[in-house]
Structure 1
Amino acid sequence: MRSSSEFPKIKPRSGDVISGGVFNYFAPAVLLAVSIVMASFITGGCASKESISKRVYKADHSARSGSRSAKSSRKASGKRSLKRYHVLKRGETLYRVARRYGVSVSELKRINKIRDDRDVKIGTRIYLPKKKNVRKTSRPRRNRKTSAYTPRTRVRFIWPVKKPDISSRFGIRSSKKHDGIDIRAPRGTPIYAAARGKILFSGKGPSGYGNMIIIKHDKRTISIYAHNRRNLVREGEFVKQGHKIATVGRTGRATGYHVHFEIRVNRKPVNPEKYLGKRR
C-alpha cells in the first residue's frame, strides 16, 4: 500500500477550468466521492465500497433537492414582485378607477400615498390592492346621475345672468376637476345674486379666480361668482335674490368673458345645474 506522501500533489493555477455541465450538477457528489476514495487509500482501505456509494447517493440527493428549492424560491419571489396597476387615462378619475375594479377610493389613496385625488395626472400608475375578489368591471357611464354629490338644500337658486350660455360644465375638464360652470356673456353683463344671503367675501380671490364674490345663504350653502370685471357689493352686506352684485369680466385665469359660478354644500362643490331653475 502506498503512503500518502507518494501521491502527487496538484495545485490549481489561475485560469484552470473544470469543463462539463455534468460536473457542475454533481459537483458536491463528485467531490465527496473523491475525498472518500482518497481517505480509504490513506487509512489503508478502511472505507468500504458500500459506505462510499451510500455517501455519494446522499450527496447527490442533497444537491438535487437544493437546486429544486432554489428554483421554487425564485418562482415565488417572481410572483410576489408582480403588482396590479391601472394607468390613468384622459377623462378618468380616482373614483372611476375604484368603481371599475370594485375597491374604495380611500384604499387606492392609501396604497398609492395620494393626498388629493385632483392632483393625479394622466399616465400615473394606480396600484391596486392584492385581493382575490378584485375584478375588472365595465367602465361606468360618464353622465351617471348617481356619481355626483347632490345633497338636498332649502335654498332655491336662479341663474346669475340672463339668457345663460354655458361654455364649460361641472366635472372633469382637461384631466382637472372643474368645481362649477362657466357662463359665457359679453363684457359688462350684469351678474345677479342667485339667492338671498350675506356677502361673505368680495375682492380678489385665490389664484386664477380673479375678482370674486362669495354669498352665504344658510349655515351650509354658499355660492361663488368669479372672473368679475367689477364687484358692486361689500363684505357684510345682505342682498336679495336677483340683486345686481357684479359685472362680467375676464380677470384671473380666463380665456374669454364669462362668469364662473359655483354652489357648495357642506364645503363640497356640487353641480349647479342640479339646483338652478329654468333659464330666464
Structure 2
Amino acid sequence: MKRLFDALLTQKHYLTPALLFVLLTAGMFVFNLIIVDYIDGYTVLAGGKPIGLVKSKDDVTQRLALLERQIETENQIDIVFDKDLLGYTRTEATLDRFSSIASLDHNLKENLTYKCKVWVLKVDGEEVVYLRTRQEVEQLIDRLNRAFIPKVRSDDKIEDLSIHIMEDLDIQTGLAYTESIKNIDDAFNYLLWGAQERKSYSIQRGDSFYAISKKYGISFTDLITANSHLDPQNLKVGDTVYLTVPKPQVNVEVSYRHVYDQIIYPPVISIRDNSMLRTQLVVDAEGEQGKKRVYADKVFVNDKEKSIIVVKEEILKNPRVRVLRIGTRRTPDDILVARAFLAPGIGVISDYFGSPRWGGRRHIGIDIAVPENTPVYAYRAGTVQTAGWSRAGYGNLVVLEHEDGMLTYYGHMNSVAVKPGQHVEKGELIAYSGNTGISTGPHVHFEIRIDNRPINPLTYLKSH
C-alpha cells in the first residue's frame, strides 16, 4: 500500500487534481476500514423511538435504578419505571457515537413514564382510590364509618347503633401514576359523591330550586336528588344547596333505635259564630301541649332516609283541648267590594291588591271568593272591550270600558255572557264566575284601571 502511494506521489505531475482527490479519498476510506474498530452495542428504544446508544442493556438497567432512587428522594415515594416501553436493537458503532450518561439519563426521564408504589382501596374487587400509605387508607375507612354517626339532641338516646359499609373493601399494594394518587380529603369526597369537590351554593332572598337549576345548568330533578335534606317549598336564606349530584362509590348504612320525646299538640275545636266578623277569633280555652316518648328504628344510607319504623310510643303527658270561636259574618270591606259586581249577601275578599305574586310581582286587583258559576254583573255602564280567553293568565276575561275611560276587569270566569263591542248597563249580567287561567280556587278577580294603570279597587270604592 505504501509503495503504491509513493509511486503515485512521485508521478503526481502527471495526475489531474480531480483524479488526485478521488484517489486520496478512497485511500482514507480503506485506511479507516482497516485501522478503526467498530463496537457491538444496542440502540435503546422508548415506545419504538430511538433515545440512546449503549454498550450493554445493563447500562440502562443501572441508570434506571439510579434515576428511581433520585425521584423517590425528591418525591418521598417509591416508584417503578414502566419498562414495558423499552426495546433494544443490536447495533455496531464507533466509540464516539455511544450516549453519554447525562444524555441517556435525560432521554430516559423524558420518554419513560413511571408509576408510584401505592396502597390501593378496592371496592367490590375494583381499584377505586390510591393513597401513599396503608395508614392513610385505614384512616379513610375510619372516616367513612364516622361520617354518618347520628346527630341528635342532647336528651335523646341512641341504642343498638350499627354502622357498616355495604360494599366489600380490600386494601392492597399497587402501582399508580402520580396524578391518580389522592389525599384523604379528596378520596373521601370521591367515595361518597363521585367527585373530589362537592360544589355548593348559599340560598339568597328570592331564590328557588327552579331558578338555581337554570343558573347553574343542573336539571331540576338532579337538584332535588342532591338536596334531599331540604324542602324546596320552604327554603331559608343561608340554607346550603349542593350543586353536585352524588354518585357514590361506597354506601354507608347506619341503623339504630332513636328514643326521643315529642310534643303532642293540643287538638283544636273550632266553633263558627255568625255574631262575629270573619276576621275575629276568640280563644275560649287555651289548651295545653302534651308529651310522648317515641321509640323509632331508623335506617339511613349515606345520610338519606331508608326506613323509619315507630316501634312504640309512651304518653308522658296528655294534651288539653284548645277551643276557638271563629267569626263568619262578612266584613264591611267584603260587602263593599262584592256588591260592586255580585248579588247581595255573597262573596268575601280572598286576596288584596298589592299582595306578593310569583317572580317578585304584585297582585294588581282584588279577589272575591265565590262558588263557580256565580252570576257576575257590570260595575258600571260601559262597552265590552274584551270577552273571552286571555293569554295573560286571567282565563276567561271580560273587560269593560266606561264613559270616563276607566277600565274594569273581571277575570277567571267560567263563561262569558257578552260580546266585544256590546254596550252593557250597570248591574247587567256579563259572565259566570269560575276557576280558569292561573288560579288557585274559584273566585272573581276584579281590577280597576285609570289611564290603563291598575289602582286599588278597595280604596277607589270607598271614595266613590
Superposed pair shares fold, TM > 0.5: no
Structure of greater Rg: 2
**Bin of the TM-score, shorter chain as denominator length:** 0.3 to 0.5
Tell me the TM-score normalized by structure 2. Answer: 0.26
Tell me the TM-score normalized by structure 1. Answer: 0.42
Higher share in strand:
2
Q: Which has the higher contact order (CA 8 A, sep 6+)?
A: 1
